[in-house]
Amino acid sequence: MSFTLPDLPYAHDALASAGMSQETLEYHHDIHHKAYVDNGNKLIAGTEWEGKSVEEIIVGTYDADAVAQSGIFNNASQHWNHAQFWEMMGPGKGAIPGDLEKALVDSFGSVQKFKDDFSAAGAGQFGSGWAWLVKDKDGSLKVTKTENGVNPLCFGQTALLGCDVWEHSYYIDFRNKRPAYLTNFLDNLVNWENVASRLK
């Protein structure tokens, strides 16, 4: 199956009051994400990966020993990462559902400690990449960071929450202040119902 750019699950201006502008979403979704879809489709055409699911392509092309991942991996993973990222945000910040809050407190000691760890992971990722809250293979919750397009699927983990820390995700709204972008993401942008749904 070829890759398809999903529509945003909200209007382009829906997150502006929460700190992600219409201009950011127009560039990030309509141009950056679309480029991963278009380039990925060009690269998989006529290969063994044409007709495979995006998850199969990510797991099948990730090379743990490589200095740099392949073009097919990079575009497939970035397509998947962004599709999750849009779903993980939403307008009208809601409370953290009880089951997720309990899991965060059990794993990190408090919700605030989880947020601190997540922000530190995102701020500490040198260069482009992602910060994640994952459910690991043993069921435990962990905060991780990955470079470029690498994501939790590569390690057999479930992505509960991911935050894009490539400069294109924050430079329009926060300029060079990645830590401020991360704090705002956690406090105002996350759709916690979506995160909780991924626990199951």
Q: Which residues here bind Mn ion, judged by CB under 5 A? A: 164, 166, 169
CA distances from 40 to 27, 79, 194 (A): 18, 8, 26
- Which is nearer to Mn ion, 117 or 164 (by Cβ)? 164
CB of 7 to Mn ion, least distance (A): 17
CA distance 58 to 52: 10
Task: Work out how close the CB of 179 gets to Mn ion at its nearest, in angstroms, rounded to a whole number.
Answer: 18
110 phi and psi angles, rounded to 5 deg:
-165, 160
DSSP H or E run through 10: none
Nearer Cβ to Mn ion, position 34 or 113? 34
DSSP H or E segment with residue 148: none
User: Minimum Å distance from CB 74 to Mn ion?
Assistant: 12
CB-based burial, 28-41: b 16+ in 10 Å, e otherwise: bbeeebeebbebbb
* Residue placing its CB nearer to Mn ion in the complex, 154 or 196: 154
Please state, in angstroms and rounded to a whole number, the distance separating the CA atoms of residues 93 and 192.
8
Q: Please state the closest distance from residue 136 (CB atom) to Mn ion, in A.
A: 24
Question: In one letter, which amino acid is 48?
Answer: E
Closest distance to Mn ion from the beta carbon of 146 (Å):
13
Question: Nearer Cβ to Mn ion, position 166 or 174?
Answer: 166
Q: Which residue minimizes CB distance to Mn ion?
A: 164
Contact 113, 123 (CB under 8 A): no
Nearer to Mn ion, 61 or 169 (CB): 169
- CA 85-52-31 angle, to 5 degrees, is 40
